[in-house]
Structure 1
Amino acid sequence: ARTLPDYAVPATLTVLAALPLGPTGKVDRAALPAPVATTVDDAPLTGAAAALADLFADVLRLDTPPGGEDSFFALGGDSISSIQLVSRARKSGLTLSARQIFENPTPRALADVIAPHAPTDVPPADLDRNAPAPFTPLMHWLRRSPEHWRGFHQSMLVTVASTLTEDRLRTAVGHLLATHDLLRARATTDHPDGRPRLTPSGTAPDPATLLTVAPVTGDDAELRRAVHAQSRARAAELDPDHGPLIRVVWFPRGPGRDGRLLLLVHHLAMDGVSWRILLPDLAHAVDTGTPPARPDTSFAHWTDALYGDAERFAAERTHWD
């Protein structure tokens, strides 16, 4: 397991005194004994291992916690969900890294390498979540393309329960804005060096101004027409220079009929991978009426680190040029 990737590690190992050979000297596969399942320690999990098993189930949405030798990735985990596991573990008082999860993917193995720490829900004292974030190289490219700058966005249409209410949805959108700083950001250029920044607003906009309610009582064809029309209209309202970067449209369909929820987010604040974080956070806010856990870092902190790394490699530029 220390040498091979997870998928190449044999599930069982059978030791033979010699391989059975056929008349031609080749291995007689039919004569090989059936593999015997490797004995697994099924003792009850305790301490950090038990806590990690519960976190595995939470992140991967499993009905029951996995066993001590069950791999996070064999259960459906990947790089994005491993980051979610790191974040939720920290809230529970366990310090681990995504690399440790890849190298020790089972609750027992991971429990042996992690370090406990005091649980906290507050960011470091020097972390300013509203600090202006320098544009990434791709953002600079997008800004130089006026035809894409304003309305360049990603959207997602999800099914919501017929019992959803406007008040509950408005509250959930408010929690989402408070948790994810970029959703309330805008592009700013009034900085001493003249370089553009993505600057979150210190106060979130009123969720009611970002939410459109568009009831649909007809058939699926009518729903498709309504989604198409609202998508075009709301996308035109996305404005990276003045805000907003997000619009939400709710299509209630009446009692007993699941509605639809359309989210449109400007590409400055959303990419294809980030939906896997935003949608669960929205579901949490809708279901519980409480805000989701805030990220341990900010976009400005990340971009500062990105440019710091770039400076360290500046000496190599002539080689690549």
Structure 2
Amino acid sequence: MPSAPTPARASEFDLIRRHFTRPTRHTDLAVGDDAALLRARPGMQLAVSTDMLVSGTHFFADTDPEDLGWKTLAVNVSDLAAMGAEPRWAFLALALPRADEAWIAAFAHGLFACADTHGIDLAGGDTTRGPLTLSVTILGEVPQGAAITRAGGRAGDELWVSGQPGMAALGLATLKGEIELAAAGRAACIAALQRPQPRVALGRALRGLASAMLDVSDGLLGDLGHILECSATGAIVDIGALPLDALLEAGADAALAKRCVLGGGDDYELLFAAPAARRADIESLSRALGIPLHRIGALTAEPGVLQLRERDGRLVPGARSGYDHFG
């Protein structure tokens, strides 16, 4: 009996057409040509960012591909949220060890779920064979002169952080077998790690309120150091004001919860400074968006000096360590 014919292997271009070609919302020419054609709206500046995720460095090789598709785009969306920009276009470059159709289909499903959530067109990219590496360049728009940078903070401005920093770090510790959590806490922490929720609406609403801002990707204190450097300020962070309750409820002890909030990465929450006179506006914004905003300290006039205020009022030096790819 003759054997069945072997199915033809999909080419690079077949994979792109099948999994990464979608109708676009606001792109004149997208996937399928030598370059995309984009049209920025009048009065807008383009905000552009690139992030790369590498297997074994940024994610486990066995990470669910749909979650990975979501996160690959979400971490880039968060960069635009941190500048008060609206994401519009993304370009995806993939290095894949092999053309695994099921894996690619699940990855694309997660990626487009994130794109649809935030109104983003996939406008182009590239694929090649190689160690699993995922790279996105994202473009967004922000009204001329309205972008929130890291450089606008001033002594006396209050420090705020959104949501629940530290959950992703606790999720990573769980996956690495460093801590055991109850089922509900484990699921919530792993979801924070694998499916971060970029704060786009918050970033846009903070235009004109926040003086300096970034997203927490490499640890709160480490990332705060970038604001201090760019704004030429120092900071005092109040330990008693840190949002620890959710981590304690998930199963972390007090010491681990504190370490995760101050030093854990992958949260993609927004850390920002704002004048003390705008405190009521920020609290009102928190209620309107349904996003907890925690006032955790203030900027000071001592450039580069980061201190922690303990619950008893003592000031101790704060370590500005964060994740370093070459550390």
Using the size of structure 2 for normalisation, the TM-score is 0.21
Higher normalized strand content (fraction of residues): 2
Using the size of structure 1 for normalisation, the TM-score is 0.22
Higher normalized helix content (fraction of residues): 1
